[in-house]
Amino acid sequence: MEPFDLVVTNVRVVRHDQAEPAALDIGVRDGRIAALAPHLDPTGAKSVVDAGGKLAFPGVVDAHQHWGIYHPLAEDAATESRACAQGGVTSALNYIRTGQYYLNRGGPYREFFPEVHRATDQKSYVDFAFHVAPMTTEHIDEIPELIRDHGVTSFKIFMFYGGHGLHGRSADQSSFLMIPPDARYDYAHFEFVMRGVQAAREQFPELADEISLSLHCETAEIMRAYTRLVEEDGSLKGLAAYSASRPPHSEGLAVTIAAYLAHETGLPTINLLHLTSAKAVDAALRMAQAFPHVDFRREVTIGHLLADIDTAYGLGGKVNPPLRPREDVEALWGHMLDGAIDWVVSDHACCRAEVKFGEPKDDIFVAKSGFGGAEYLLPGLISEGVKRGLSYGRVAELTSWAPARRFGLATKGAIAEGLDADFCLVDPNHTWTVRAQDSLSTQEYTPFEGMELTAKVTDTFLRGEQILRAGNVVGQPRGRYLARPTRP
């Protein structure tokens, strides 16, 4: 038998379909898992790694990031992919759109997307892909072209953008979104996006199950009114004020509207993003019952699982939808343990301090929304989840297998023969305190500052090449753009 390129020994392999890890050596050849068996013969292998009894988790498929939202895309691809490697993330799926932020331009995607490719080429330490938001009628017409020419199979709607600003106050949509003056980003546009995505599913039937639409579910009219109430009242400050200004029933109402539009347009592949509250998940589950023919998937972020409005470290915890009170955090965990959540993401959006905080610095409504967190996704979910009864196998399903399958990454998502050799080594008994200064992200703060975690990613492998060794990024960027679908 041809020698392996890499053999990892003394390791416990975590698989999504098994609750407990298995003592199996990992043999890698040509970037793929070639063998999984006890006591593989390492003779002739180019590299042998003794894992020291650690767990091997599948490389995390972080299905929700935002490279380039606040800093140049090329810069984020280089720096934030390092934070990905630090957290065991080997595939980063980024949301991107035309308009302010990102590349700060409008126009057709046939002109925009080549710039995205140029900005990210040979910059990233991990593999990556993009979800695309059709902001105009022209973009809807481009959906088949994005699928065929760029391997983009997932699309997005930001339900509040047409009537509420990104950071908490209303804004003129034509200048913020950079859409034509006579265009509207509203419920009618959302319907037409759904019809466009469904038409693409019919045009590419072999890809239909992997072509999906994701929605950021908040209702602009509710948020606009409640923001005014909260600011006029003045009794709430900081993250509590921001949560109240974007109340949970705003999420629930938007979920309901999105679900009916999916029913109306015949689009069955719907992803409900970053649900934050008991009301949001309740609405999502009610809609699944009301429309059983729609394949809803429900996402939560590690931020909304680890932090609340009282425990997050400062205004750096501002994010959309907001961090919530502790009772909502506990509700999310309950749904997680009941199997109602499909995957967990970081929603990583690096926003350095000089960009994040406005004047006055203690005004939550002038701070920017979003923060990084890819480096804490897997260790945070293990640390908090396992003590609540979440199995290692379920963690692997939530962070890798489920998102990989939904988003057309058939070569990713598991430590299995024939798939890409993407995995990370985790010490499940390493207690450490989160400090922003230890992160490889360029963000100088984190809302998780001071939290104690009990699992640590020590080493990360991308297609069999080590990109993180003993907590340090090694080698040169070798991440590839993932034109989807990928096939074993």
- Measured in whole angstroms, the distance separating CA 469 from the mean position of its chain's CA atoms is 24
Query: What are the tens digits of pLDDT across the range 347-376?
Result: 999 999 999 998 888 999 999 999 999 999
Please tell me the distance from the alpha carbon of residue 398 to that of residue 454, in angstroms, as a whole number: 19
- Residue 333 resides in a domain: yes
Q: What is the pLDDT of residues 423-468, one digit of tens each?
A: 999 999 999 999 999 999 999 999 999 999 999 999 999 999 999 9
| 6 located within any domain | no
Task: Kindly state the average pLDDT of the residues 292-310.
Answer: 98
Report which of 81, 100, 97, 201 is spatially closest to residue 153, judged by C-alpha positions: 201
Residue 151, domain member (yes or no): yes
Range of the domain at 253: 60-409
DSSP secondary structure string for all residues of 351-406: --HHHH--SSTT-TTTSPP----GGGHHHHHHHHHHTTT--HHHHHIIIIIHHHHH
HEC profile of 11-52: CEECCCCCCCCEECEEEEECCEEEEEECCCCCCCCCEEEECC
pLDDT of residue 181: 86
- Residue 177 is predicted with a pLDDT of 86
Q: What is the spatial distance between Cα 130 and Cα 120, in angstroms, rounded to a whole number?
A: 11
Q: Give the C-alpha distances (Å, rounded to integers) separating 131 from 53, 119, 174, 239, 319.
A: 37, 16, 22, 29, 19
pLDDT at 171 over 50: no
Give the pLDDT confidence score for residue 384 in this predicted structure.
98
Is residue 401 assigned to a domain? Answer: yes
Identify whether 432 is part of a domain: no
The predicted-structure confidence for 63-114, as pLDDT tens digits, reads as follows 999 999 999 999 999 999 999 999 999 999 999 999 989 999 999 999 999 9
Q: What's the predicted TM-score (pTM) here?
A: 0.97
Phi-psi region of 290 (alpha: psi -120 to 50; beta: other; left: phi over 0): alpha
Predicted confidence (pLDDT) at residue 172 exceeds the cutoff of 60? no
Interhelix angle 238-245/220-233, rounded to 10 degrees, is 140
pLDDT at 161: 86
pLDDT tens digits along 387-402: 999 999 999 999 999 9
Q: What is the DSSP letter of 440?
A: S
Determine the Cα–Cα distance for residues 200 and 429; give it in Å rounded to an integer. Answer: 47
Burial of 464 (0-12, 13-18, 19+ CB in 10 A): buried
446 within a domain of the structure (yes/no): no
Domains in the chain: how many in total? 1
Cβ-based neighbours of 111, under 8 Å, separated by 6 or more: none
CATH number of the domain that residue 344 is part of: 3.20.20.140
pLDDT at 230 over 90: yes
Q: Are 186 and 162 in contact (CB under 8 A)?
A: yes
Q: Report how far residue 352's alpha carbon sits from residue 367's, in angstroms, rounded to the nearest whole number.
A: 11
pLDDT tier for residue 170 given thresholds of 50, 70 and 90: very low
pLDDT at 488: 85
Lowest mean per-residue pLDDT among 165-169, 296-300, 382-386, 441-445: 165-169
